Amino acid sequence: MVMVEAEIGKKNRSWKRWRWVLGAVVAVLVATAVSSRHSPKKISLFFNDHNSCTCSKDSRKYTGMVEDCCCDYETVDSINAEVLHPLLQELVTTPFFRYFKVCNNESKRKVKIENQELPKSEHFRYLESIITTAEEIDVNVVHRIKAGWLKWRCASGVKLWCDCPFWPEDGMCRLRDCSVCECPETEFPEIFKKPPRGLPSDDLVCQEGKPQATVDRTLDSKAFRGWMEVDNPWTNDDETDNSEMTYVNLQLNPERYTGYAGPSARRIWDAVYSENCPKYSSGEICQEKKVLYKLISGLHSSISIHIAADYLLDESTNLWGKNLELMHDRVLRYPDRVRNLYFTFLFVLRAVTKAADYLEQAEYDTGNHAEDLKAQSMMRQLLYNPKLQAACPLPFDEAKLWQGQSEPELKQQIQKQFRNISALMDCVGCEKCRLWGKLQVLGLGTALKILFSVNDQNYPDQILHLQRNEVIALVNLLNRLSESVKLVNEMGSSTENIMGGLVSKATAQEISSWRRIWDSLIGLRLVKLPL
């Protein structure tokens, strides 16, 4: 009996010791996991579980048809590298494509403070005096004043500002790089300032969707296509008020890292996805909703790729370069984000080639004859490229969509959602991000208009009309997507190798830490190794 009790006591003591060891091990595990989560350079202990090499390697080999498209990944990569990318890179440098019209109502904005209307210039002088008594003023006005103050301090002379219709926008730019450099009046093409040919100059406001806009279509659809302002049911921008518009040179304002992040940026993306294009579930059968989600996700991937490809690596020395870790973390390690990028690229490419007749005949007139001829000729090379036509004749087949019974209501619903996304771009709190956000969403809206709102069997009377800014946005968007696809193709494997190296390095470090912990436990005689 005594012997049995002694045996049980021994087992209890040994169990208690093991429990202690187990507790210590769990504590160390948790601490390691927490510390690696908070340290961006470290790879989490659980990284391998979720991204095991075997599983991710296979899924990252993008082969076969791009989902819902009519062209495979390999062909997209080769035709992009060989034809599209070089052509587009040059095309967007021509004067016609490098100037983009943006809203410039900053100078005319009046800020209402205590029932007083102040012009913007006076508003800043008044600002400091009232900011202390802020509680007494309507909270929205205070938000806006603070936003204006931040923006003003961040980049003096900010002008690219249209009102955010959803909430007081908080102008969260961190770097000077988030501001946009506008063109002086003398720089942008004289012809851009003129009203469209054939229309009386004081009729500009009346053109949008109004009877006056019905230009002679026979003439229009044959040889000459003047640029005119016609409504796009997919976008939110009203560009008819030309006095409030100005031009920016896109070549001087590249899309790249700006430091715009945190709650302001997060709020935009959250609103875009949760309110306007929620991720479809695997059982979702509505193709059109899937398309909207994939277009936005593809655009988001492209923006992230550009941020990572042109990143401020060292602020103190102003060193810019590629941030492969960021590219991997935001896009490459999510196969669906990469797939959506390819999808968006093919969708926009299809829109451009579908509008070939229109784009071929359009006027690329900026007053610089040689450059305009070059733009026209490159446009033709893009639209009728034999290699592209042979390799990928129909990048995306829009005829498969909008076949259901509830088509008109569904189209209206999706148009409304896209218009909301378009309006949300005015809430982007950093100028340069807003410029590119607005341009690319306008480009997507133009692609949607080309594919779904004209020359459709359901709308036989609709003839394609594009605004100059829509064409500029469409082509620049295609160029951005083409760059992203090229970067993903080139960087994909090297980034994976580097990240793979980091994982193995981190794993090796972690193994050696574990060995030290293990050795100490043995040293403390808390663990007994079997003989």
Ligand X SMILES: Cc1cc2nc3c(=O)[nH]c(=O)nc-3n(C[C@H](O)[C@H](O)[C@H](O)COP(=O)(O)OP(=O)(O)OC[C@H]3O[C@@H](n4cnc5c(N)ncnc54)[C@H](O)[C@@H]3O)c2cc1C
Q: Which structure tokens are listed for 383?
A: 């639209």
143 is in an annotated binding site: no
Of 33-41, 113-121, 281-289, 300-308: span binding ligand X (CB under 6 A): 300-308
With CB under 6 A as the contact rule, the residue among 160, 291, 303, 392 that binds ligand X is 303
Residue 446 contacts residue 454 (beta carbons within 8 Å): no
- Rounded to whole angstroms, what are the CA distances from 49 to 46, 117, 218? 5, 60, 64
Looking at 247-313, list the stretches that DSSP marks H as alpha helix, in order from N- to C-terminal side. 263-270, 287-309
Active site (annotated) includes residue 183: no
Of 308, 349, 383, 428, the residue at the interface with ligand X (CB under 6 A) is: 428
**Closer residue to ligand X (CB): 123 or 300:** 300
Nearer to ligand X, 189 or 298 (CB): 298
Residue 161 in marked binding region: no
Euclidean distance between CA atoms 241 and 65, whole angstroms: 44
In whole angstroms, the minimum distance from the beta carbon of 435 to ligand X comes to 8
As given in the structure block, the two tokens for residue 517 are 């912990």
Smallest distance, ligand X to C-beta of residue 177, A:
8
**Cα separation, 331 vs 337, whole angstroms:** 6
**By CB under 6 A, which span of 5-13, 62-70, 95-103, 433-441 interacts with ligand X?**
433-441
Please choose, out of 73-81, 257-265, 393-401, 451-459, the segment that lies near ligand X by the rule CB under 6 A. 257-265
CB 325, min distance to ligand X, A: 12
Two tokens, residue 313: 């690596």
Binding mask 332-361 for ligand X (x = CB under 6 A): -----x------------------------
339 annotated to a ligand binding site: no
Two tokens, residue 194: 């003129």
By CB under 6 A, the residues from 487 to 526 that bind ligand X are: none
Is 103 designated active site? Answer: no
Q: Which of 433, 447, 472, 499 binds ligand X (CB under 6 A)?
A: 433
Q: Which is nearer to ligand X, 196 or 259 (CB)?
A: 259
Q: In terms of CB distance, is 299 or 359 closer to ligand X?
A: 299
Show the tokens assigned to 301.
């991937």
User: Of 406, 447, 394, nearest to 286 (Cα)?
Assistant: 406
Q: Report DSSP state, residue 332.
A: I
Kindly state the number of chain residues that form the binding site for ligand X, as judged by CB under 6 A. 23
In whole angstroms, the minimum distance from the beta carbon of 307 to ligand X comes to 4
300 is in an annotated binding site: yes
- CB–CB of 68/531 below 8 Å? no
162 contacts ligand X (rule: CB under 6 A)? no
Closest residue by Cα to residue 420 from 314, 276, 268, 230: 276
Instruction: Give the chain's length.
Output: 531
Beta bridge partners of 161: 104
Kindly state the smallest distance separating residue 417's Cβ from ligand X, in Å.
16
Restricted to residues 396-425, the positions that interact with ligand X (CB under 6 A) are 425
State the minimum distance, in angstroms, from the CB of residue 489 to ligand X: 17
* Pairing state between β 319-321 and 245-249: unpaired
CA–CA separation, 305 vs 322, rounded Å? 10
Helices 468-523 and 335-354 pack at an angle, to 10 degrees, of 170
- Asked if 169 touches ligand X (CB under 6 A), the answer is no
Per CB under 6 A, the list member of 383, 436, 447, 465 interacting with ligand X is 436
Asked whether the CA dihedral 204, 208, 214, 217 is positive or negative, the reply is positive
The residue from 104, 246, 297, 446 that contacts ligand X (CB under 6 A) is 297
Say how many C-beta atoms besides its own lie within 10 A of residue 290's C-beta. 18
CA–CA dist 91, 527 (Å, integer): 70
Long-range contacts of 282-290 (CB under 8 A, 24+ apart): 286/404, 286/410, 287/68, 287/400, 287/401, 288/401, 288/402, 288/410, 288/411, 288/414, 289/414, 290/68
Q: How far is the CB of 6 from ligand X (least distance, A)?
A: 59
Is 252 among the residues that bind ligand X (CB under 6 A)?
no
Binding mask 316-335 for ligand X (x = CB under 6 A): --------------x-----
Residues 59/335, Cβ–Cβ less than 8 Å: yes
Annotated binding residue at 60?
Answer: no
The answer to the question of whether 297 is labelled as a binding residue is: yes
Alpha-carbon gap, residue 472 to 492, rounded angstroms: 29
Rounded to the nearest whole angstrom, what is the least distance from the CB of residue 164 to ligand X in the complex?
A: 12
Nearer to ligand X (CB atom), residue 236 or residue 258: 258
Q: Which residues are annotated as a binding site?
A: 256, 258, 269, 297, 300, 330
- Which residues carry out catalysis? 430, 433
Residues that bind ligand X (CB under 6 A): 255, 257-258, 260-261, 265-266, 268-269, 297, 300-301, 303-304, 307, 330, 337, 425, 428, 432-433, 436-437
Q: Which residues are annotated as a binding site for FAD?
A: 256, 258, 269, 297, 300, 330
